[in-house]
């Protein structure tokens, strides 16, 4: 592994494209901690242009309901508020939801 050179700092500050699955995405941890933190990273341009956040949980949400819940969590618990950042619609376009029963094998098939 090569050492980072000073001119490579931009590569350190932004993650490469990624997908993340949050199991239990309708729960308190996602609502109070994960969503506000991910939104703060996005607002500070520390997430790449290409990323997907897939929430998975037992609740019967559609994507709009899930996005509304995440928005509320960001507003109530985030250090960076949606009105301070102005990028909610961009961030929300990366949020998706899949209902999942953890004990149902078929729910894990692609």
Output the pLDDT for position 69.
Answer: 96
Determine phi and psi for 18, rounding to 5 degrees.
-155, 165
Residue 76, token pair as written in the block: 């109530």
Inter-residue contact 40 to 70 (CB < 8 Å): no
Instruction: Determine the angle formed by the axes of helices 63-77 and 35-43, rounding to 10 degrees.
Output: 80
Domains in the chain with CATH codes: 19-108 (3.40.50.720)
CB 21 within 8 A of CB 56: yes
Residue percentage of the chain with pLDDT more than 70 = 87
State pLDDT tens for residues 55-67: 999 999 999 999 9
- Spatial separation of the C-alpha atoms in residues 5 and 59, rounded to whole Å: 47
Supply the mean pLDDT for the chain.
88
Q: Bigger pLDDT: 31 or 11?
A: 31
| Rounded Cα–Cα distance for residues 47 and 26 (Å) | 22
**Containing H/E element for 56?**
strand 51-57
Among 30, 27, 18, 45, which residue's Cα sits nearest to residue 77?
30
- Whole-structure pTM value: 0.82
The alpha-helical segments, DSSP class H, found in 44-81 are 63-77
């Amino acid at each position: 592994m090569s050492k980072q050179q000073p001119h490579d700092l931009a590569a350190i500050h932004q993650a490469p494209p990624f997908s993340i699955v949050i199991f239990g995405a309708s729960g308190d941890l996602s609502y109070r901690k994960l969503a506000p933190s991910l939104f703060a990273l996005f607002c500070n341009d520390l997430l790449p242009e290409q990323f997907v956040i897939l929430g998975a949980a037992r609740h019967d949400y559609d994507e709009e309901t899930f996005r509304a819940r995440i928005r509320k969590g960001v507003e109530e618990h985030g250090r960076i508020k949606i009105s301070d950042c102005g990028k909610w619609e961009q961030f929300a376009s990366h949020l998706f939801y899949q209902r999942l029963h953890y004990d149902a094998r078929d729910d894990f098939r692609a």
